[in-house]
Amino acid sequence: MGNKQEELEAIVQQNSYNLVAITETWWDSSCDCHAVMDGYRLFRKDRPTRRGGGVVLYVREQLECIELCLGEDEERVESLWVRIKGQPHVGDVIVGVYYRPPDQEEEVDEAFYRQLQAASQSQALVLMGDLNHPDISWEDHTARHMQSRRLLQSIDDNFLMQVVEEPTRRGALLDLVLTNKEGLVEDVKVGGRLGCSDHEMVDFRILRGGSRAISRIKTLDLKRANCGVFKELVGGIPWARALEGRGVQECWSLFKHHVLHTQNLRIGASP
């Protein structure tokens, strides 16, 4: 963070954030006196063996919270998991912060996925961080590299949604926000940088307890469906070529994406 700390505190004060997550802090014990921010509780995990990395989560002091231990391999993964206590009639929210170095080994990736699986069992989860998978196409839910496809598989296995849509670094979407609850994360905005960072900041709201009463559930109106055109569009996709060389999970994700996309085009939805 270095000389970005004063700028960070000014931005936080101006926007009155309840939570602030930071990746790649590059902090060590020499930064202890500069890390504290008035009015916030600090959770941090520095990289112990080499320079760089590190994650931080600031939580406003008025929020009751506790850090969680998820798995035996937590020391190898640059992640933090904190449970934010909800009101009596509102459930708790687990908030995670994660940094994945571009050269991270598959074994450490798997340790993180075990953490993610454990955290996904909660009623409300929000994970944010830099996952460094620039080859993923979030529109098609596909990826070129095996480790990126493994992330997509974990997202599907844990019924998660990725809600950031705009690039966050030089045209690539690296900084993600994952959640397991529809409508929990809204008003996602990408823009602005902290100091000389080459990553854009991601700003969003967490609606604890689903404070909006309007239903987001839609049902298909099959009376308006053009089944002939639907069949023609789906059947016209060169499936043999599209699925060649892909695993079962990736084939299913790609097939599901095309079917749902065609469905949205050709079958109307009623609230």
CA separation for the pair 78, 74 (Å, rounded): 8
Instruction: Let me know: does 54 contact 24? Beta carbons within 8 Å.
Output: yes
Whole-angstrom CA distances from 75 to 7, 24, 115, 244 are 30, 16, 12, 38
Task: Output the 3-class SS for 93-117.
Answer: EEEEEEECCCCCCHHHHHHHHHHHH
Residues 6+ apart with CB under 8 A from 143: 133, 135, 136, 137, 149, 151, 152
- From 25, 92, 16, 104, select the one nearest 57 (Cα to Cα): 25
Pick one of 1.20.1270.360, 3.30.70.141, 3.10.290.10, 3.60.10.10 as the CATH number of 4-206: 3.60.10.10
Query: What radius of gyration, in Å, describes the C-alpha atoms of the chain?
Result: 20
Task: For residue 121, count other CB atoms closer than 10 A to its CB.
Answer: 10
**Alpha helices (H) in 120-201, listed in sequence order:** 146-157
Provide the residue-wise pLDDT of the chain in tens; the chain has 271 residues: 556 778 888 888 888 899 999 998 877 766 655 678 889 999 999 887 777 788 999 999 999 999 999 877 777 899 999 999 987 667 899 999 999 999 999 999 999 999 999 999 998 999 999 999 999 999 888 999 999 999 999 999 999 999 999 999 989 999 999 999 989 999 999 998 887 888 999 999 998 754 333 333 344 555 556 677 767 777 788 888 878 887 777 777 777 777 776 666 555 444 4
Instruction: Let me know: does 166 contact 190? Beta carbons within 8 Å.
Output: yes
**pLDDT for 7-63, tens place per residue?**
888 888 888 899 999 998 877 766 655 678 889 999 999 887 777 788 999 999 999
Q: How many CA atoms lie within 13 A of 28 on its CB side?
A: 6
Which segments of the chain belong to CATH 3.60.10.10?
4-206
Average pLDDT, the chain: 83
CA dihedral sign, ordered 37, 61, 77, 148: negative
Supply the pTM of this predicted model. 0.74
**Residue 209 CA from chain centroid, whole number:** 19
- From 206, 128, 205, 140, select the one nearest 168 (Cα to Cα): 128
